[in-house]
Amino acid sequence: MKNVIKTIVFIILLLISIHTFGYFLRPSFTLDNSWPAFIKEKKNTIDVLFIGDSGIYSDVSPMAIYRDTGITSYDLASPAATNMAAYYAMLEAVKYQHPKVIVMNVTKMFDGKETNAFTHQVADILPLNSNKINMINDSNYSFSDSDKLGFIEPFFKYHDNWRKINFLNKTNKGVYYLKGYIFNSIKKSANNGRSYMEDDGSVQSLTPSYVADYILKAKEYCDENDIQLLLISVPDTIEWNYDKYVAASAWAKTNNLTYLDFNDYLGELGINYTNDTYDAGNHLNISGATKLSNYLGEYLQKNYDGLVDHRSDPAYSSWNNDLQKYIATTESSYEALQNS
């Protein structure tokens, strides 16, 4: 009996050591800038969730939307995450907030799953529970046993990272007021402008991949839980084109989904690929993101009932404080880009 207790104590100590080292060995991810603050937000105070990849956290600024409309929203997005990873992140996120609208970026609906490293950037943030286990066992990911071990305990994925071990706090609390948005003030113009959305008369028919099935799964979940699902594709001259626009629109129509392709509204948005992008047309900078967010905020306000203006509600005073910080950080860059 004594030996049994000794063994159990030892195993617990070992697991604690492994988990602790795993935490410090894991590199910092984009979601480290949003997820820890997100789960600390007061319950059911966020009305809109933006889910997806870099197109979300670069192009959609929840604070810009709040400034214009008073709608509270949050970006939960991870680089290169397809709708597969986004779907599982969404299932976890709705445990903390009950949003009225979930907005998903579908830019990657024609691609295969993201590479393992990018799946890790999502999965490693999620707590180990049945949702995560389902994700790891998802047959579309087809992880090997040792891959799975690395997902269950990230230590086994990152043990070789010992040269870069970082015992300091890996999350950057300073930027939480951006609500998941990642601020970028660089300007790097695109060469081809809006030509990627021109109909050159030879439309190739595209079929959404298995990744798109997860959009349908998300829709199913939203319907069951009284959440509206809005699909968007953010302005992107590199990953998007006219063929995808045609195919995605048709697919959304057959599946009865609300879909907004911003690439088709570039004129209304006022986005030009000279000033508004930081990487030659793949993602938007603060200027482009503000334009897009303003438009999106207005759209949400007009088309969805129950999205309340919280700006004068004293319960949301922290949002107003964050807004001041947001303005202080971004305003000058925004102005500079407008005048360039």
Partner 1 sequence: MNFISLEFIALIFISTIIYYIVPIKKRYLVICLANAFFYVYSCKFRSLYLLASMVSIFFAGLFINKIIIKKNEVKELKIDKEEKKLLKKKYNKQKKLILLLAIIINLGILLVLKYDNFFISMINSLFSSKISFHTFIVPFALSYYTLSALSYIIDVYNEKYEATNNFFKIFLFLSFYPLMVEGPICRFNEIGEQLFEGHQFDYQKYCNNLLRITWGFMKKIVIADRVGVCVDAIFSYGYSGPLILLGVFGYVIQIYAEFSGCMDIVIGIGGLFGIKLPENFNTPFFSRSVDEFWRRWHITLGTWLKDYIFYPVSISKLNMKVSMLAHKIKWRHLADTIAMILPLFCVWFIMGFWHGPTNKYIIYGMYYFVLMLLSYLLKPLIKKINELLHTNTEVFSYHLLQSFITLIFVTLGMALFRVADLNGVKLLIYMVQLPMNSNISILFNGYANLMIVILGTITLFIIDLMKYHGINIMDKLNEQNLVFKYIVYLTVIMVVLIFGMYGTGYDASSFIYGGF
Give contact residues for partner 1 (rule: CB under 8 A). Answer: 3, 6, 10, 13-14, 17-18, 21, 25, 116, 145-147, 149-150, 155-157, 159-160, 162-163
Residue entry with tokens 């999502």: 122
**Residue 295 amino acid letter:** Y
- The C-alpha atoms of residue 66 and residue 270 are separated, in whole angstroms, by 20
Q: How does strand 48-52 pair with strand 228-233?
A: unpaired
Residue closer to partner 1, measured from CB, 111 or 147: 147
Q: Residue 149 CB, nearest distance to partner 1 (Å)?
A: 7
CB-count exposure of residue 103 (10 Å: 0-12, 13-18, 19+)? buried
Q: Residue 170 CB, nearest distance to partner 1 (Å)?
A: 18
- The C-alpha atoms of residue 244 and residue 107 are separated, in whole angstroms, by 9
Residue closer to partner 1, measured from CB, 159 or 194: 159
Q: Residue 35 CB, nearest distance to partner 1 (Å)?
A: 23
Order of strands across the sheet that contains 101-105: 73-77, 48-52, 101-105, 228-233, 258-261
Q: Residue 137 CB, nearest distance to partner 1 (Å)?
A: 16
Residue closer to partner 1, measured from CB, 14 or 328: 14
The secondary element (H helix, E strand) that includes residue 91 is helix 83-93
Residue closer to partner 1, measured from CB, 24 or 96: 24
Are 48 and 102 in contact by the 8 Å Cβ rule? The answer is yes
Local structure of residue 277 (DSSP, 8 states): B
- The C-alpha atoms of residue 190 and residue 185 are separated, in whole angstroms, by 15
Q: Residue 7 CB, nearest distance to partner 1 (Å)?
A: 8
Residue closer to partner 1, measured from CB, 57 or 118: 118
Q: Residue 13 CB, nearest distance to partner 1 (Å)?
A: 6
- Secondary structure in 3-state letters for 113-129: CCCHHHHHHHHCCCCCC
β-sheet bridge partners, residue 232: 105, 260
Q: Phi first, then psi: give them for residue 334, nearest 5 degrees.
A: -60, -50
Residue closer to partner 1, measured from CB, 148 or 311: 148
At 212, list the tokens: 């798109």
Residue closer to partner 1, measured from CB, 42 or 162: 162
- The C-alpha atoms of residue 264 and residue 271 are separated, in whole angstroms, by 11
Instruction: Collapse the DSSP code of 259 into the 3-class scheme (helix H, G, I; strand E, B; otherwise coil) and give the result.
Output: strand
Q: Residue 17 CB, nearest distance to partner 1 (Å)?
A: 6
Residue closer to partner 1, measured from CB, 159 or 325: 159
